[in-house]
Chain A
Amino acid sequence: DAGVIQSPRHEVTEMGQEVTLRCKPISGHNSLFWYRQTMMRGLELLIYFNNNVPIDDSGMPEDRFSAKMPNASFSTLKIQPSEPRDSAVYFCASTSAGTYVRGYTFGSGTRLTVV
């Protein structure tokens, strides 16, 4: 099992540019979560999906952020336009809905720097 795969590992972009982060969950997992980690705010849940359907997006900071899960094996988090305050590490995690008690499996994260 390759685990949760995120790409890219690092992204440096200029303010105003569009950024797309990608996540491939573990095969068979049908819940997917996007978290953002910063020194100031710790780990924040941005959005999560069950069976490809967004369940709770209350953590998405503003309309510049959007997330999609077109199928069970792929999700994207897009920021358009990006701003320096979006600089953070973005984690994707997955689990099996109904059995999340096993805990999430996290990807290695994408470190985003907006200059």
Chain B
Amino acid sequence: AQSVTQPDIHITVSEGASLELRCNYSYGATPYLFWYVQSPGQGLQLLLKYFSGDTLVQGIKGFEAEFKRSQSSFNLRKPSVHWSDAAEYFCAVGAGLTGGGNKLTFGTGTQLKVEL
């Protein structure tokens, strides 16, 4: 079964500082990996995704993530955080289409606070 671990429950950074949110996954084959963001009172919005190819993927709002198979990680990064980035961030893993349909398993989330 696939699983996702986000080891940091809360992270606080200063505006303008760099950000890295950690995500480790468990899946037997090549996973499909996603990062979502949730603002208060809202649903989840897709930031970026990885399926194959270049292991560094770019997303919306200036975010990027790097897939590292050897570490089973898919960490989310942003060079300079803006106050509007304060939200909860979820990493998710999906099986390939022949390996379990299109079900995503989400991590428990990381709450990001941005100090001005």
Contacts and interface: CB of A to CB of B under 8 A. Distances in A.
Interface of A: 4, 31, 33, 35, 42-43, 45, 48, 50, 55-56, 91, 93, 95, 97-98, 100-109
Among A33, A42, A43, A98: residue with most chain B CB under 10 A: A43
A104 B101 CA distance: 13
Contact of A95 (B51, B90, B102): B102
Contacts of A98: 97, 102
Interface of B: 32, 34, 36, 41-46, 49, 51, 90, 94, 97, 101-109
B103 A106 contact: no
A98 to B, nearest CB: 6
Given A56-B101, A101-B32, A108 B43 contact: yes
A25 B32 CA distance: 23
Q: Taking chain A's interface residues, is the majority helix, strand, or loop, or is none over half, making it mixed?
A: strand
16 contacts: A42-B107, A43-B108, A43-B109, A45-B103, A45-B104, A50-B102, A56-B103, A91-B44, A93-B43, A97-B101, A100-B97, A106-B36, A106-B43, A106-B45, A108-B43, A109-B43
Contacts of B107: 42
A42 B107 CA distance: 8
Given A91-B44, A98-B97, A104 B104 contact: yes
A55 B94 CA distance: 15
A104 B94 CA distance: 11
Contacts of B43: 4, 91, 93, 106-109
A55 B108 contact: no
Nearest to A55: B101
